[in-house]
Amino acid sequence: MINGDVKLPSQEDMKKVAAVDELNWQTRFGYDSKRVKGLVDFQVYCDGIAKIIGVMPPLRKLFFTKPWVWFKIMFGPFTMHQYRLVGPQADPKRAEEVFAKQPVGDLLETSITASYLMLAKFLSFFGFSRFKPNEF
């Protein structure tokens, strides 16, 4: 972070990560990645930064300890409040207050997302690592 609480990786490590990321985005976005430089999947990008600074929400733990917060993260709109649950500058009480007010998708949307999540988790158990859901 800017105040020095979190040490950045070395320049060499950051360049390696940037090269891997660039290849990932080019593969993911194809022609558009050549046309629009810096095109990223916003949630995946934010999660990457969250891992570096130690604020990634502990989804597996939340699933068992605060299922309604987990449910809002998984099926509600993507917001930055999930990155205030743990780590530097955490304010879990305020984050949970925000999650309490957030809507979730309708039943069909939530069911489709939940089905995909369960199928991906199931496939990842059998060695299909590319189907492993992020952090869950």
Average pLDDT over residues 52-67: 93
**Model confidence at 16, in pLDDT bands (50, 70, 90)?**
very high
Query: CA–CA separation, 72 vs 91, rounded Å?
Result: 17
pLDDT of 105 above 90 = no
pLDDT of 5 above 60 = yes
pLDDT of residue 114: 86
The answer to pTM > 0.85 is: no
Q: Which residues contact 110 (CB under 8 A, 6 or more apart)?
A: 75, 104
pLDDT of residue 128: 77
Q: Count the Cβ atoms, other than its own, within 10 Å of residue 84.
A: 19
Highest mean pLDDT among 41-45, 62-66, 110-114: 62-66
pLDDT of 65 above 70 = yes
Tokens of 116: 């995909």
Of all residues in the chain, the percent with pLDDT exceeding 90 is 40
pLDDT of 117 above 70 = yes
